[in-house]
Structure formats: C-alpha cells, structure tokens
C-alpha cells in the first residue's frame, strides 16, 4: 500500500483532500499534518518527518495566501511559499518521494489577451505571486521530478474564501460592489483534490508544471452574480473597476490559464465553474 503525506491539512485544499481520501483508502495510506504538526520552513524537521514516514507522495497544501498582507509580511510569505516548498522538495529527493506542490495563476502579470500555457513568461505583480514563483524554482532546482500544479481563485466549503465572503455579505447588506475588470477561473478545491488523486493514481505521475482550474474565465463581478443567483439572494451587485477598488497588492488583470496539458496527460475531466459552484453552494447551504 502506497503512502501519501499531506502537509497543510488545515487549509481548504487539505480539508478537501481529507474528504476525497475516503474514496482511495483501499489503495493508499494517508497521513495528514497541519502547520502545528510540521513547520515546513524548518528544513531539519521536514527531513526528519519524511525519513520517519517514507511516503511515496507528498502533497504540499500549505501556503501563505494573504495576498494583500504579504506586501507587509514579505519575509513570512517567502518563508512559507518559497523556502518551505524547497525544503519539502529536498527531503522528497532524499527519501525517493514524489512532491506535488500547489502554485498559483498570480505568477503571471495578466497583461495579455490569451490564456497562459505552462511555459509562458512569468512576471508576478506582488509579493504573494513572487513568493510562489520562487517556490516553484526552488522545488524544481531541488527535485526536478516534482509536480507543480498552478491553480486559481480557489474556494470550497472550508475556511475563508470569496464564495463564503459573498454569502456573508449577502446576509448583511442590500448592495455591494465587486470588481468587473479582472479575469480568471474560479476553482472548487474539491475538484483540485480529485485531480491530484487522479495524477497520483495514474500509471506515470510524470513531472513538471501543470495548470488546473474550472473553466471558462469570468470576472469577480460575474462570479459574485452567480453566487447570488444560485443561493437565491436578491442583493444588488454593482460592477467596479480596479481603480475604484484599490488594494495593497496589485492583481493580474487577466490570468486565465490554458488547461489542455493536464487534461491530455492524465485524462482529467474538467468542469464548468458554474456547475462546481453549485456543488459547493449545495454543501454550504445544506449545512446551514
């Protein structure tokens, strides 16, 4: 029986992986570690855990994701998003494990009208994106046989995310404004968890950089409109420009990613983001 070690188990992807793991427990042994269990910025601790557990796969679901706060906490962002993944990659190389590391569309500047492929030029606009890009480089430098998955606009029924923030605002306000000139692909973290398990379960997990998200592209405003529609909210949502809604960290204007590489390599069935959003809302509203 193969062993899968998941770090960052308390994040929304980590929690989704815990749910998905029940479908694979007949062929894999899962070990879930929170940041309290393992600080990935501590290279010695990382190596010690991996030498003790000797996993076949290590999924890095740990990340510093506070995009705006990262502008002030750059040292912490780079420690978690760059040094930590580098430590994991080195330890995985030592024990012969395959590292699956999660990255982001924010490694791109968004100044384009086409969808980014995995080998397009990266040029992050803020500290968060820069820290994630540095993490990609450290991972591949330490262990070229790693798998890096870039994803975007992640949400789920767990933790804080855009969908849950919108639902809270709908309950508190009669009218809100949402940015309508930033384009990307919302991604249900449960779908990402399933895709990761398909990669692990494939005959050849391969290595390199892959993009995964739901499709097609949309704006934050249109995303919010669908959240309202599917949840039955009557709130008025006003479209805003980025200039009308300034944030400490600059966001890419259009960070849409091409998805054909991962679809072809692993036969992963991609989902329309509206369908995946409905799945998430069904779970969220059913538990209220």
Prior bond to 41 cis, omega within 30?
no
Q: How far is CA 100 from the centre of its chain?
A: 12
Which CA distances in Å does 286 have to 39, 89, 240, 278, 279?
35, 39, 31, 12, 11
How far is residue 130's CA from residue 191's CA, in Å, rounded to a whole number? 25
Query: Tokens at residue 242, please?
Result: 């980025």
How far is residue 1's CA from residue 195's CA, in Å, rounded to a whole number? 20
- Active-site annotation holds for 106: no
How far is residue 96's CA from residue 78's CA, in Å, rounded to a whole number? 26
How far is residue 18's CA from residue 193's CA, in Å, rounded to a whole number? 9
Query: Tokens at residue 2, please?
Result: 């193969």
User: Which residue in the list 64, 128, 155, 215 is annotated as catalytic?
Assistant: 128
Residues designated catalytic: 128
């Amino acid at each position: 029986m193969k062993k899968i070690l998941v770090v960052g188990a308390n994040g929304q992807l980590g929690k989704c992986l815990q749910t998905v793991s029940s479908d694979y427990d007949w062929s894999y042994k899962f070990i879930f570690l929170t940041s309290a269990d393992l600080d990935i910025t501590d290279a010695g601790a990382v190596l010690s855990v991996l030498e003790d557990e000797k996993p076949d796969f290590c999924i890095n679901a740990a990340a510093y994701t506070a995009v705006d706060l990262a502008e002030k906490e750059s040292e912490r962002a780079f420690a978690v998003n760059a040094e930590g993944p580098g430590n994991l990659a080195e330890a995985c190389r030592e024990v012969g494990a395959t590292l699956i590391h999660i990255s982001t569309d924010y490694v791109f500047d968004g100044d384009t009208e086409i969808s980014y492929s995995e080998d397009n030029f990266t040029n992050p606009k803020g500290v968060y994106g820069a820290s994630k890009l540095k993490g990609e480089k450290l991972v591949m430098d330490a262990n070229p046989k790693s798998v890096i998955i870039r994803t975007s606009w992640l949400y789920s029924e767990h933790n804080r995310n855009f969908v849950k923030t919108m639902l809270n605002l709908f309950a508190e306000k009669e009218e809100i404004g949402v940015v309508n000139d930033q384009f990307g692909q919302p991604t249900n973290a449960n779908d990402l968890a399933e895709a990761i398990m398909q990669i692990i379960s494939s005959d050849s997990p391969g290595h390199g950089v892959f993009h995964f998200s739901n499709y097609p592209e949309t704006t934050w405003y249109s995303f919010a409109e669908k959240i309202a529609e599917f949840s039955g909210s009557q709130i008025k949502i006003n479209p805003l420009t980025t200039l009308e809604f300034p944030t400490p960290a600059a966001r890419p204007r259009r960070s849409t990613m091409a998805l054909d590489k991962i679809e072809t390599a692993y036969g992963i069935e991609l989902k329309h983001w509206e369908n995946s959003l409905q799945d998430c809302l069904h779970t969220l509203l059913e538990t209220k």
